[in-house]
């Protein structure tokens, strides 16, 4: 137990409850998910960079989304996997905990902004195709990506600072597999209600704020698609945004459960499941959602593989 703030130099992560055998099963499962996440998203990045047919705003954003997915899952999953191999609790220094939380929040914010931008891109492509190339030009796309990255990292400076500026005196044991903000607030002996309320408002601003252009964009998209006279035309139009819409539903659903709640110190079991969705499941599904039914990407990937084979053969 900790008596004052100055004595807090490290935290102990409880990780997952259960036997050693269960931990071995969890390690194998999460290691598989993490490996597929890295390989799948790296394949997307490589294919988008190499194949000239994928040099469009949609795939430009998808490449950056894949980079964010790799970074987000890498912030916490390797530490989680290491914890599953260790007996007992896992020690994490205060500085590592602070950096992990900041990166997790910043990368997540940038991803939400990028998802919103991708929804607007789909709206322009479906509802205003004649002006698509002039509106979504390379200059616009580059600035959208830069703003998403920079804003995400700037916006989360205060939340990370406010969290670790609290006095931790109740314990230094976190009932989680990473430095979760809700569990950190539980350990504070300060009156953190005002801080929690501000953090709640900031989460609402980011998540709901990025949801508004997404909802508006897809309202117009659906309305436009329904006006297309032929069934084949409707299917073709819907196929251009179906993968992104699926990712939006899964991604926003997980974030709403995890962050948009007035009381940040929610049950550890609830936080663990929601965190696994954001950190493990969503990045794992991303390559499949965006590529399995995308004939253009599959063809581009085959060409990249052929090119790599020829280079190795020569």
Q: Which pLDDT band holds residue 1 (cuts at 50, 70, 90)? A: very low
Instruction: State which of 4-18, 97-111, 163-177 shows the largest mean pLDDT.
Output: 97-111
What pLDDT does residue 3 have? 42
If one compares 82 and 247, the residue with the highest pLDDT of the two is: 82
Residue 2: what pLDDT?
41
Q: Three-state SS across 140-165?
A: HHHHHHHHHHHHHHHHCHHHHHHHHC
Instruction: Please give the pLDDT value at position 45.
Output: 94
Range scoring the smallest mean pLDDT among 64-68, 161-165, 177-181, 305-309: 305-309
Across residues 13-38, what is the average pLDDT? 91
pLDDT at 27: 94
Q: Reduced to 3 states, what is the DSSP secondary structure of residue 12?
A: strand
d(CA 118, CA 136): 11
Question: For the chain, what is the mean pLDDT?
Answer: 85
Between the alpha carbon of residue 164 and those of residues 23, 157, 200, the distances in Å are 30, 11, 16
pLDDT at 42: 94
Task: Using alpha carbons only, give the angle 14, 19, 24 rounded to the nearest 5 degrees.
Answer: 90
pLDDT for residue 276 is more than 80: yes
Tell whether the model's pLDDT for residue 190 goes beyond 70: yes
CB 228 within 8 A of CB 275: no
Q: Which residue has the higher pLDDT, 124 or 86?
A: 124
- Give the torsion sign (CA, 85, 91, 96, 100): positive
In the predicted structure, residue 256 carries a pLDDT above the cut 80: no
Answer with the residue of higher pLDDT: 3 or 243: 243
Model confidence at 260, pLDDT cuts 50, 70, 90, reads low
Look at phi and psi of residue 149 and say left if phi exceeds 0, alpha if psi is from -120 to 50, else beta.
alpha
Q: Which residue has the tokens 């004595």?
A: 7
What does the block give as tokens for 275? 């965190």
Residue 229 has pLDDT above 70, yes or no: yes
Q: Specify burial of residue 182 (Cβ count, 10 A radius: 0-12, 13-18, 19+).
A: buried
């Amino acid at each position: 137990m900790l008596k004052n703030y100055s004595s807090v130099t490290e935290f102990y992560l409880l990780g997952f409850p259960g036997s050693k055998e269960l931990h071995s099963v969890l390690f194998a499962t999460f290691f598989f998910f993490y490996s597929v996440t890295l390989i799948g998203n790296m394949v997307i990045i490589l294919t988008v960079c190499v194949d000239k047919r994928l040099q469009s705003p949609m795939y430009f954003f998808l490449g950056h989304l894949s980079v964010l997915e790799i970074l987000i899952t890498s912030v916490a999953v390797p530490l989680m996997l290491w914890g599953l191999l260790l007996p007992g609790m896992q020690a994490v220094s205060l500085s590592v905990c602070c950096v992990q939380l900041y990166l997790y929040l910043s990368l997540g914010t940038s991803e939400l902004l990028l998802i919103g931008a991708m929804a607007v891109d789909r709206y322009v492509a479906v509802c205003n195709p004649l002006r698509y190339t002039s509106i979504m030009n390379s200059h616009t796309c580059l600035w959208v990506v830069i703003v998403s990255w920079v804003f995400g990292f700037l916006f989360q400076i205060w939340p990370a600072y406010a969290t670790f500026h609290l006095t931790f005196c109740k314990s230094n044991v976190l009932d989680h597999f990473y430095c979760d903000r809700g569990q950190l607030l539980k350990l504070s002996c300060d009156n953190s209600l005002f801080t929690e309320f501000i953090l709640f408002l900031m989460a609402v601003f980011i998540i709901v704020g990025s949801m508004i252009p997404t909802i508006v964009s897809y309202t117009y998209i659906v309305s436009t698609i329904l006006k297309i006279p032929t069934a084949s035309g409707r299917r073709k139009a819907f196929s251009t945004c179906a993968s992104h819409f699926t990712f939006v539903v899964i991604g926003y659903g997980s974030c709403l459960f995890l962050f948009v709640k007035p009381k940040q110190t929610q049950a550890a079991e609830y936080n663990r499941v929601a965190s696994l969705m954001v950190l493990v499941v969503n990045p794992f599904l991303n390559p499949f959602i965006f590529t399995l039914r995308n004939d253009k990407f599959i063809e581009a990937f085959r060409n990249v593989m052929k090119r790599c084979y020829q280079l190795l053969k020569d």
